[in-house]
């Protein structure tokens, strides 16, 4: 089943039994529960058996209570800071408090293996000594000399991570590095220690807390799950499995029974001084409930919401003091169970946060326009809204690079291992405030080019000899300036008309192409659209055909048109098919449409020329009549078999006969098993997963489609495929032609009109209306020293330099990798020029040119200072997703991890200031590389869960291949937005929180989006008023789980949420279907799959674990 489909109803859960994790129990559905597979990195998340947990001296532990702690002050032993101010490692993400609290010396073991890192992030904003270049994540080894923590000055505002002190991670050892530990079979978790004095009652499922409870983490105890009552291990859901495109679920909590709570010491909670940024509700790290550290942009909680973990009591500053790690009593290693020796719990707030980095970039770079006049400038992040002023380099909306400062030599590039690549989106749509590229018409002579390398005139060309000649900036050839193009130079050597000519002053512009740039030396005809509709039993029964014919009547008024044209120049044609093809004559002179049937699918031909492709306005009446008749004509069909390749062949032949380029819109429902060319068999085999033959699942099962695609490209025939499968349709094979012709694939599994109508209609409208370049060829030229060697995207290549695209739209990117073939010069830098030759929607032949100048460096530090992590991840994902076609998935994953470790180890060795081996040091602009790379490794293509279908994986694989940087950013690290935290009257988007279950509060509602899916997660104890405002029902239990449309209610909260959803959908290239998920509902597993910082059920590591694993890999490389 798919995200596009509502889940089948299942019986409500029975009463949960108080069963402990590790004991087998039959599931709710009566089948044995599935167990989570082994995790990716053994040493970092092994199970921890029960072990004694001792309390720090001077701290008594009370039995659980949900009340507010009494106000009497606890005696703090002299010389010790209050216990439990910040969770682990005393570093907070977000605004830090002025007083640095120290942890009590407790029973914290310091093992012999590398401990988990704690982050200290200096940035150039800091006022401590010379500006460091890197963010540092420090992890201290036992017995290592650790400098005592100095009393820090308050960090400058905007700083994401705590002060640059090197602190021992004084937290207890937490099992599984995170939320949930697991226990061996037959051994119950040590609940009594976590709960309080012996004799405490076994845990009961407690009601959701309303009072704010002050809790401190037990030394070594597991962190509380932030939601009551998830499923226990060994229990599975009743009802059929839920399968979605791009989704797997994360593990159920295992450490404590739901509702158990660890109470802190009675007495006054530790004082906290407010930070210099007002309006933040500071939370105690380790408190029960929602966020663990403040998030940028949040004021107080939603009025009336339970404030979990808030800090009562007036702030009282404590004298800062040095913490000597050697004074912390360390138990004898022999007394500890083996797993506990190995690690300390890392505080997730002390490691680089994507949310903080995005927020900082918005604050620092969102207000000023990005002016492209300076060579090698790194643009703002894709998540920042900014204006671009073109002053000679292409806008980052058209080209983004992995690095804007590239090594001068290939040896240096090999040493760093940073891929040099550009993600190019030649026809990108611009915001209304930015002007489209100017169109330059040089008349008969056409655009001016270099005689040797054929590069087009651009701002970097050097005019010499008084303007009579110019030197090419790409190959240094000296060319004559034609008399009609001559102009004098000013005193600086620039042409006096430089600012009047777009090609001499702008980074992006278009030339009108002459007849020499056209096929057969004649100007092209306007393109055509052919709608090819599957009318087999499945398509008729689901209501698809009726819906589509109804929609096409109005949609044909919105075909793309050029500039201010009255009507579109595009002609349209119609074909229906099952086992045979039906062509329709819709000539304007006919009273009724005529149907012609071609049953010889093995030798496809087009039975009519005149009257097949027509102007919409001229043939309006006949087209409307046809669209009314099609659903009736096939209403009683019993034909279930379909053909596929002959349909594409027919469309291509029709375009060939009409001598024009165009696009086929194919609406298809089933595996083409009818006897015909391109016939397929069902080869879906899950047993191949994790074997050497897994790659065959991604490869097409026949070469016929590659041959067909090649013919389509030669004709300029682009194919967009809309799939409506109820079972396996072999997306890997069916998507070959769309992929190689520059088309798109849309997939609506188990299509139902009532649930999927809005999504399908929206995608279709957008697809028909978008501006497309037809019959396109793209070439990327570079200055001497580097060359384009590899290309990724939806296109065809018949040679090593030309990217051929039957169609290219504003959403598609082509990713290009560069390698050195000579030494580069620091003075002159490196240049790229992307030239796209295409036919516009009006049939005009054009050249679109984008130029970009990059810096070159002889120092590795300059390379690392000018990288763009989002673009790097975009490239690495595409590289990996192509790799699975030829290599086992495990090999592809290992390659990614090794490359990332080499990049970071090279930085550590050559650019970072000397420090102990226990520190993980990340370059400032690459500090998110580990978290993002882990998301790629955990994605469905590289690590599928049991319920991800082969078709889903093939679909996502081809989708990512042509995604731009903004799309891969949100696809791999989804946005999680709390809905009730920001004021209702606020029109701006609520600030996001990190994608982890620890950030969810069961008193709140969250919106999660990843560019393809939208979820609303509703916490179990959300206020009744909020439920009423959003869903129009009086209680949480009455909300329909899996709801896909929000009721339209006349209140501010409902309007705000619906407005937010509309604005998110407008930002994405595909319509995101909404799914409402209730806490502890069966659909929650699907939602949790997108909480990418957590461990996933299919063995994907959590962010913390992966960071530790990366650290280990880097240390191995360095040693």
Q: Which tens digit of pLDDT belongs to each residue from 124-151? A: 333 333 433 444 444 333 333 323 333 3
Report the range out of 75-89, 258-272, 924-938 with the highest average pLDDT.
Answer: 924-938
Model pLDDT, residue 905: 95
What is the per-residue pLDDT across 217-266, written as a single tens digit (0 to 9) for each? Answer: 333 333 333 333 334 344 444 444 443 443 333 333 333 333 333 333 33
Model pLDDT, residue 344: 52
Q: Could you count the other beta carbons within 10 Å of the beta carbon of residue 762?
A: 15
Q: What is the dihedral of CA 908, 911, 914, 920, to 10 degrees?
A: -30
Between these two residues, 26 and 954, which has the higher pLDDT value?
A: 954
**359 contacts 989 by C-beta, under 8 angstroms:** no
Name the band, by pLDDT with cuts 50, 70 and 90, for residue 954: very high
Model pLDDT, residue 815: 98
Name the band, by pLDDT with cuts 50, 70 and 90, for residue 309: very low
Q: Could you count the other beta carbons within 10 Å of the beta carbon of residue 271?
A: 17
At residue 463, what are phi and psi to the nearest 5 degrees?
A: -85, 135
Model pLDDT, residue 49: 39
d(CA 125, CA 138): 20
- Arithmetic mean of pLDDT over the chain: 77
Q: Is the pLDDT confidence value at 471 over 60?
A: yes
**284 contacts 311 by C-beta, under 8 angstroms:** yes
Q: Is the pLDDT confidence value at 99 over 60?
A: no
Model pLDDT, residue 28: 38
Model pLDDT, residue 666: 98
Least confident of 338-342, 347-351, 469-473, 974-978: 338-342
Q: What are the distances in angstroms from CA 177 to CA 79, 588, 735, 772?
A: 30, 71, 41, 49
Mean pLDDT of 403-425: 97
Model pLDDT, residue 38: 45
Model pLDDT, residue 566: 87
Model pLDDT, residue 983: 84
What is the per-residue pLDDT across 852-884, written as a single tens digit (0 to 9) for each? Answer: 999 999 999 999 999 999 999 999 999 999 999
- In degrees, to the nearest 5, what angle opens at C-alpha 1062 toward C-alphas 1060 and 1067? 95
β-pair type (1073-1078, 717-723) = unpaired
Contacts of 1119 (CB under 8 A, 6+ apart): 917
Model pLDDT, residue 1010: 95
Q: Is the pLDDT confidence value at 700 over 90?
A: yes
Tokens of 473: 């900036």
Model pLDDT, residue 129: 39
Tokens of 828: 């002159």
Mean pLDDT of 189-211: 36
Residues facing 642 on adjacent strands? none
- In degrees, to the nearest 5, what angle opens at C-alpha 189 toward C-alphas 185 and 195? 170
Percent of the residues in the chain that have a pLDDT greater than 70, as a whole number: 69
d(CA 742, CA 738): 6
Mean pLDDT of 408-432: 96
d(CA 982, CA 979): 7
């Amino acid at each position: 089943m798919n995200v596009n489909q509502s889940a089948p109803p299942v019986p409500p859960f029975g009463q949960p039994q108080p069963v402990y994790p590790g004991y087998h129990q039959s599931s709710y559905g009566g089948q044995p529960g599935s167990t989570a597979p082994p995790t990716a990195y053994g040493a970092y998340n092994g199970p921890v058996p029960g072990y004694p947990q001792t309390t720090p001296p001077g701290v008594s532990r009370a039995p659980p209570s949900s009340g507010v702690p009494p106000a009497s002050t606890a005696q703090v032993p002299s010389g010790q800071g209050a216990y439990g101010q910040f969770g682990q490692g005393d570093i907070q993400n977000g605004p830090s408090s002025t007083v640095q609290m120290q942890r009590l010396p407790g029973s914290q073991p310091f093992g012999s293996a590398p401990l988990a890192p704690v982050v200290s992030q200096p940035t150039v904003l800091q006022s401590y000594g010379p500006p460091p270049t890197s963010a540092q994540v420090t992890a201290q080894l036992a017995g290592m000399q650790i400098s005592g923590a100095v009393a820090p000055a308050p960090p400058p505002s905007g700083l994401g991570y705590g002060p640059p002190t090197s602190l021992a991670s004084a937290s207890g050892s937490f099992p599984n590095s995170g939320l949930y530990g697991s226990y061996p079979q037959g051994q119950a978790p040590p609940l009594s220690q976590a709960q309080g004095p012996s004799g405490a009652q076994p845990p009961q499922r407690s009601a959701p807390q309303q009072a704010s409870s002050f809790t401190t983490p037990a030394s070594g105890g597991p962190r509380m799950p932030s939601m009551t009552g998830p499923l226990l291990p060994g229990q599975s859901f009743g009802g059929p499995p839920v399968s979605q495109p791009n989704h797997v679920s994360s593990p159920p909590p295992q450490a404590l029974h739901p509702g158990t709570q660890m109470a802190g010491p009675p007495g006054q909670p530790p004082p906290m001084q407010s930070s210099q940024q007002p309006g933040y509700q500071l939370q105690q790290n380790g408190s029960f409930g929602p966020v663990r550290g403040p998030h940028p942009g949040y004021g107080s909680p939603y009025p009336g919401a339970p404030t979990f973990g808030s800090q009562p009591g007036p702030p009282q500053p404590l004298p800062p003091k040095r913490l000597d790690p050697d004074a912390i009593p360390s138990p004898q290693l022999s007394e500890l169970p083996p797993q506990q020796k190995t690690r300390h719990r890392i505080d997730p707030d002390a490691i680089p946060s994507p949310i903080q980095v995005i927020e900082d970039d918005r604050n620092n770079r969102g207000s000023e326009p990005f002016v492209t006049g300076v060579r090698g400038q790194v643009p703002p992040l894709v998540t920042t809204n900014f204006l671009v002023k073109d002053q000679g380099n292409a806008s980052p909306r058209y080209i983004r690079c992995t690095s804007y400062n590239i090594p001068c030599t290939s040896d240096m590039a090999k040493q760093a291992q940073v891929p040099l690549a550009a993600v190019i989106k030649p026809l990108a749509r611009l915001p209304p405030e930015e002007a489209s590229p100017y169109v330059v018409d040089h008349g008969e002579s056409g655009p001016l080019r270099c005689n040797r390398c054929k590069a087009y005139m651009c701002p970097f060309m050097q005019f010499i000899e008084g303007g009579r000649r110019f030197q090419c900036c790409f190959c240094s050839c000296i060319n004559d300036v034609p008399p009609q193009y001559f102009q004098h130079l000013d005193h600086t050597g620039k042409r006096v008309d430089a600012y009047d000519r777009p090609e001499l002053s702008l980074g992006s512009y278009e030339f009108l192409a002459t007849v020499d740039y056209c096929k057969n030396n004649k100007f092209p005809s306007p393109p055509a659209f052919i709608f090819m509709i599957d009318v087999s039993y499945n398509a008729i029964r689901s209501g698809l055909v009726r819906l589509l014919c109804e929609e096409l009547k109005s949609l044909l008024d919105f075909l793309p048109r050029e500039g201010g044209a009255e009507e579109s120049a595009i002609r349209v044609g119609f074909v229906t098919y099952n086992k045979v093809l039906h062509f329709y004559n819709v000539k304007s002179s006919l009273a009724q449409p005529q149907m012609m049937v071609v049953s010889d699918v093995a030798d496809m031909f087009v039975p009519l020329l005149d009257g097949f492709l027509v102007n919409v306005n001229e043939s309006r009446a006949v087209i409307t009549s046809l669209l009314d008749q099609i659903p009736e004509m096939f209403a009683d069909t019993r034909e279930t078999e379909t053909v596929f390749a002959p349909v594409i062949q027919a469309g291509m032949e029709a375009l060939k006969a009409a001598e024009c380029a165009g696009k086929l819109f194919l609406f298809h429902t089933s595996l083409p098993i009818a006897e015909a060319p391109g016939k397929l068999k069902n080869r879906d085999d899950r047993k191949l997963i994790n074997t050497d033959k897994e790659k065959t699942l991604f490869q097409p099962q026949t070469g016929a489609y590659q041959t067909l695609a090649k013919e389509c490209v030669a004709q300029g025939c682009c194919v967009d495929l809309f799939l409506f499968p109820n079972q396996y349709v072999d997306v890997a094979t069916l998507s070959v032609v769309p992929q190689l012709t520059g088309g798109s694939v849309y997939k609506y599994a188990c299509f139902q009109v009532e649930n999927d109508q809005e999504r399908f209609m929206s995608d279709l409208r957008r697809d028909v209306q978008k501006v497309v370049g037809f019959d396109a060829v793209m070439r990327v030229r570079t200055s001497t020293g580097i060359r384009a060697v590899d290309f990724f995207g939806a296109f065809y290549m018949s040679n090593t330099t030309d990217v051929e695209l039957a169609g290219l739209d504003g959403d598609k990117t082509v990713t290009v990798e560069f390698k050195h073939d000579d030494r580069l010069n620091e003075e002159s830098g490196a240049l790229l020029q992307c030239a796209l030759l295409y036919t516009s929607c009006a049939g005009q032949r054009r050249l679109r040119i984008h130029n970009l100048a990059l810096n070159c460096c002889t120092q590795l530090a300059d390379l690392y200072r000018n990288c763009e992590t989002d673009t790097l991840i975009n490239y690495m994902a595409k590289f990996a997703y192509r790799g699975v076609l030829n290599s086992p998935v495990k090999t592809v994953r290992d390659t990614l991890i090794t490359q990332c470790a080499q990049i970071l180890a090279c930085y550590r060795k050559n650019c970072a200031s000397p420090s102990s081996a226990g520190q993980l040091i990340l370059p400032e602009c690459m500090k998110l590389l580990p978290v993002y790379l882990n998301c790629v490794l955990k994605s469905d293509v590289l690590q599928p869960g049991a319920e991800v279908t082969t078709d889903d994986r093939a679909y996502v694989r081809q989708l990512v291949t042509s995604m731009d940087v903004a799309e891969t950013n949100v696809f791999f690290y989804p946005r999680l937005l709390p809905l009730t935290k920001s004021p209702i009257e606020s029109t701006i988007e609520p600030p996001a929180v990190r994608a982890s279950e620890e950030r969810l509060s069961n008193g709140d509602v969250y919106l999660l989006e990843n560019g393809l899916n939208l979820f609303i997660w509703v916490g179990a104890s959300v206020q009744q008023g909020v439920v009423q405002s959003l869903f129009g029902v009086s209680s949480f239990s009455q909300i329909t789980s899996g709801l896909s449309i929000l009721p339209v209610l006349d209140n501010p909260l409902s309007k705000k949420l619906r407005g937010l959803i509309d604005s998110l959908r407008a930002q994405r290239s595909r319509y995101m279907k909404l799914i409402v998920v209730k806490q502890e509902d069966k659909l929650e597993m699907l939602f949790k799959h997108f909480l990418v910082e957590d461990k996933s059920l299919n063995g994907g590591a959590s962010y913390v674990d992966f960071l530790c694993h990366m650290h280990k890999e880097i240390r191995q490389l360095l040693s």
